[in-house]
Structure 1
Amino acid sequence: MNTDQEIMNDDQPEELYERKSFYVDKGQEPMRIDKWVQMRLENASRNKIQNAIEAGFLTVNGKQEKSNYKVKPGDEIILMSYINPETTDVKPENIPLNIVYEDDAVMVINKPANMVVHPGVGNYTGTLLNGVAFHLLQQNPSINEDELPRYGLVHRIDKNTTGLIVLAKTAEAAASLAKQFFNHTVQRKYVALVWGNMEEDEGTVNAHIARHQRFRKMFAAYPEGETGKHAITHYRVLERMNYVTLVECILETGRTHQIRVHMKHVGHTLFNDWEYGGDRILKGTVYTKYKQFVDNCFAICPRCALHAKTLGFVHPVTKQEMFFESPLAEDMEAVIEKWRNYVKHKPVSEE
């Protein structure tokens, strides 16, 4: 079971860059943009700002400019800024990575279950990013986090979610990917096993997501939009197995635990999602044999049954559309097959 520290480390949005907007005042005298931005950001060095400008993380009136650009009254300055509440150093570690694609600009990795994406409280080593740092240093011994923030990490998936994640290998590629994630143009499809027989073959969940008002380690859906951040998940039924349903979820936004929270909100908690109550029987029969069957399923897939199957983005350099798919992890494939075999011989019997 996860510790409190691991849960807190999990409390970050999937997209790891946020957009900051600035407007130059009417009375502003001409000033280099790197100096102007540094005056408005806490703990930002001039060198880091210059690197960000050169990589394309900053635009003026919608266009990229050089560090020596002189700001003018009325200028709109937009900066893509890394969301990093911690200052944990990334220690390079020789960790095997399942790299499904790599070139000079990007790399796509198929992440296994039980691996945290980046170091944080409770998980300082053994993360995906520790392995990525080691991998990149073998190719370029001079690379560092000043040159490539967080070694190109632009989004994340939960510790117990398997599947595809893309990383940048240059600052320019990171800027391009960060903008695509922020603008919701990256295509992401997940496969989830959820409790219950979904009534509709497809649908959309449109409900804000924010921290649960009573249980601070959880998140909740707020359909009226009175609190939290805008979140949209589209879903489509792939297969019905009486008491559970296999669904495809397409993200428009990337909020913390979005699929898990949205599926629970519509009454279909993810199978074996212990944080949201999916690690107990939510649909099925009262028979002891059924309980034994479900317990066996939990043992086969001892995690939240969620897989990041498809990832699509525009390549930062070639500008071509790239699409990747990964097969379901073995534990999730095995538990789905077990349910298929079970429902072949059992009539539907609700409690």
Structure 2
Amino acid sequence: MEIYLDNNATTLVDPRVVEAVRAELESGPSNPSSAHSLGRRARARLSAARAEVADYLGVPSKEIYFTSGGTEALNTLILGARFTGPLLASKIDHAAMARPIEALNKSVIHLPVGPSGHIEVEDLNPGAGLIALSAANPETGVKNPLDEISAFAKEHQIPLIVDGVALLGKESFNMPAGIAAMVFSGHKFHAPKGVGVMWISSKFPLDPLLIGGGQESNRRSGTENLPGIVGLAKAIELLHTELPDATGRMCRLRDLLESSLLAAFPQVKVNGSGPRLPNTSNIAFPDIDVELLLAQLDVACIAVSLGSACSSGGLEPYHVLLNMGLDPRLARSSLRFSLSRFTTEAEIQKTLETLLPLLEVTY
């Protein structure tokens, strides 16, 4: 039995999404920009997908734009934003946000993040020209206080860009007033890879990153990936019925994993004390060679992670934990377990049956 607990890296494509993608692939050649009947029918399916996403997010359809994923969307928003004044960011955000911010070559104020794993609203600067933050950190699962941040942004009329990639599909949420743009990536909520979506307020001044044929209302040129978009829309449609029940199941199983480990080994520590996503557990195992532990779990067909696989496909330095102020030894002895709505209690129990004896060798 293979046990997959690395769902913050990517998720299983839901079988119902697979069927939707297959149907689109089998529908024949379709370019939504074409004027003939095949193109018109493709355009209608594209519009229906856009409406599905907009309905779930509670925003106008005309403000929904499809991309190749979260990285492209964040590059579009950060590099294309028109603003003056410093940019407020965090040192624990994903590279897809951090590196475009670096490339701007503008003044950046990095907000402090402590052991809680989230920023504090009182550290926000009313003189900022742009705020770019994550809704939740994919390494620890800790959520930023998005309602309070968006209220601050609205009060001080500062555009707020939110990376929502780690959030969507884990729990229900409402789009707070005060956000200028928010991005999501299909493969993080049981849709295919290679497709993402960004909501951009019509009031947010933005220059496009990709120019060409003017697709997506000139926000993102390039022929739309209609099979991927249909799959993404189907995955979002499923959230209406999967949530909030899936949230409760993931939270219960995550808590089972953590409480069992802590009961057996009190020296084990959960990283990030702030409110977390229900599916994510970042755990420090003091004095354990976690690269060896990762390999041992892999041999036992249990997939977990040392950290983000999105930067290089290899072992990323533990910059998130280090920037939260963790002792470097603790940061480098941490593993991330990330569940999905398909994770079962039997899989968590099997993981514990495998993991506890491995830890007993040291503890």
The answer, yes or no, to whether TM exceeds 0.5 is no
Which structure's CA Rg is the greater one?
1
TM (normalized to structure 1)? 0.28
Higher helix share: 2
Greater RCO structure (CA 8 Å; 6+ sep): 2
